[in-house]
Amino acid sequence: MTEEELQKLVENVSRTSFGRQFKHQVKINKRMTTTGGRYHLDDHHIEINAHFLAPQYRQELIGIIKHELTHYHLHLNHRGYRHQDHDFKVLLNKVGGSRYAPDIGLRRKRKAKYLYICTVCGQKYWRVRRLNLRRYGCGKCGGRLKLVSYKKVK
C-alpha cells in the first residue's frame, strides 16, 4: 500500500466512522515496532506503522486508523484527546477503534539471561547483560560474583 492509498483509506474511514473530513497528511513510518500509529499534535499529521500495511493485517490497520483519528478529531475540537480522558474512551468505543496495537512479532526480545551468585553471601542476580566481574561485586555484602548459568531466551 502506498501513501496515496493510505491517505484515501484514512479519509474514507474518517468520513464513514466519524462523519468528518480528515484534512491533513498521513505518513508511513518504517521504524515503528511497538506502536501501530502516532498522531502529532503540532502539525496534525498521522504516522502509521509500515508493518501493518500488509493485506493480512487489514482489520488491525482499520482499528489503528480509528484510534489515531480519535486523537485527531478530539484534539481539533478541544476535547479530551489523551488515552486517560473520558471523551477519548467514549468515542473510541463508539467507532470501534483498537485500544492497543496488536503484537505481530515486532517487539524486541531479550537475547540471553545470566545468573550470578555472590561467593560470600549467596545472593542471586539475574541479568540480561553480561557483567564485568572485575568491576562489579555483590550489592548486599560487597563480595565477588560468580557466573553460574547462561541461557538463551527466545
| 6-37: pLDDT as tens digits | 999 999 999 999 999 999 999 999 998 888 99
pLDDT at residue 109, as a whole number: 64
Residue 128 is predicted with a pLDDT of: 85
Specify whether 4 is catalytic. Answer: no
The DSSP result for 42-104, as a single string, is TT--EEEEGGGGSGGGHHHHHHHHHHHHHHHHHHHTTS--STTSHHHHHHHHHHT--SSPPP-
- Is residue 10 one of the residues assigned to a domain? yes
Look at residue 31 and tell me if it is in a domain. yes
Flag whether pLDDT at 150 surpasses 80: no
**Which CATH number fits the domain that encloses residue 128?**
2.20.28
At 153 the pLDDT is 58
Indicate whether 56 pLDDT > 70.
yes
**Residues 91, 42 share a domain:** yes
Q: Which of 4, 5, 11, 68 is catalytic?
A: 68
- Domain range for residue 138? 112-152
Asked whether residue 105 is domain-assigned, the answer is no
| Residues 129 and 88 both lie in one domain | no
Percent of the chain residues topping a pLDDT of 70: 94
Residue 50 placed within a domain? yes
